[in-house]
Amino acid sequence: EVQLVESGGGLVKPGSSLKLSCVASGFTFSSYGMHWIRQAPKKGLEWIALIYYDSSNKYYADSVKGRFTISRDNSKNTLYLEMNSLRSEDTAMYYCANGVTWGQGTLVTVSS
Amino acid sequence: DIVMTQTPSSQAVSAGEKVTMSCKSSQSLLYSENKKNYLAWYQQKPGQSPKLLISWASTRESGVPDRFIGSGSGTDFTLTISSVQAEDLAVYYCEQYYDTPLTFGSGTKLEIK
């Protein structure tokens, strides 16, 4: 069974940093491009980052470019999202996805 | 960026009825080299993460009931549920993966009368 399990969310203050993880199982992680997508409370879906299967290419939404970094460790079947200079508007559920399956999400709340 | 426009924003139907929802993109999602439309439909039930229903505009994912039908090409796409069931209560999103940034429509909320 394909599974994606996110972790690392929490309550942080504006300007803080946080690193999210997504552990994959049930498929060949190293063969798939991986995404981070977020959903603010009661809002729609916003794609924020993509990393190719071999980390050769990374793409970001303008809203997070320069502040967030996507990375992966294929030896650990793990995807990461490093988030710096967090703002209140970054408050959301953060999902990882392999293009087919999504995880259950991890909640990030940015508030003073 | 490619803008995805979904209509209606919400719709209420009775079980057994047919429902259609629209998704329009600001530019064509049809890639000429492979004749594929880079358009997906997701279902998000209350309290759950989104689930991929349809990719390539009309290809149902494994296990998705055949009452879910995706159609359209270019810039105009439709998701049809041929006979709505109570468990279809959800928000439905379209997404284009033709180009980065990937973009989603604002969703159609399906309510069951």
Residue A9, burial from CB neighbour count under 10 angstroms (0-12, 13-18, 19+): middle
How far apart, in whole angstroms, are the C-alpha atoms of residue A47 and residue B37? 19
Distance CA B17, CA A15 (A): 50
Q: State whether A50 and B61 contact (CB < 8 Å).
A: no
pLDDT of residue A76: 98
Q: What pLDDT is stored for residue B27 in this prediction?
A: 98
Share of chain A above pLDDT 70, in %: 100
Q: How confident is the model at residue B17 (pLDDT cuts 50, 70, 90)?
A: very high
In whole angstroms, give the CA distance from residue B108 to residue B42: 11
pLDDT given at position A108: 98
Whether the Cβ atoms of residue B70 and residue B57 lie closer than 8 Å to each other = yes
Q: Is B54 on the interface with A (CB under 8 A)?
A: no
A36: nearest CA partner in chain B: B102
The C-alpha atoms of residue B103 and residue A63 are separated, in whole angstroms, by 13
A86: nearest Cα among A13, A3, A28: A13
Low-confidence ranges of chain A (pLDDT < 50): none
pLDDT for A96: 98
User: Are B49 and A50 within 8 A, CB to CB?
Assistant: no
Q: What is the mean pLDDT of residues B12-39?
A: 97
CB contact under 8 A, A44 and B106: yes
Average pLDDT, chain B: 97
Q: For the residues B31-47, what does the mean pLDDT come to? A: 97
**Which residues of A sit within 8 Å Cβ distance of B?**
35, 44-47, 50, 59-62, 95, 99-105
Gap from A52 CA to chain B (nearest CA, Å)? 13
pLDDT digits (tens, 9 = 90+) for B87-99: 999 999 999 999 9
Q: What is the pLDDT of residue B14?
A: 95
Q: Report the residue count for chain B.
A: 113
A contact test, residue of B48, B96, B102, B104 with most A CBs within 10 A? B102
The predicted pLDDT at position B1 comes to 96
pLDDT per residue as tens digits for the range B50-68: 999 999 999 999 999 999 9
pLDDT at position A39 is: 98
In order of A25, B13, B89, the CA distances from B44 in angstroms are 22, 17, 9
pLDDT category of residue B5 using cuts at 50, 70 and 90: very high
Using a CB-CB cut-off of 8 Å, the residues of chain B touching A105 are 49
Contacts A62 to B, Cβ<8 Å? 101
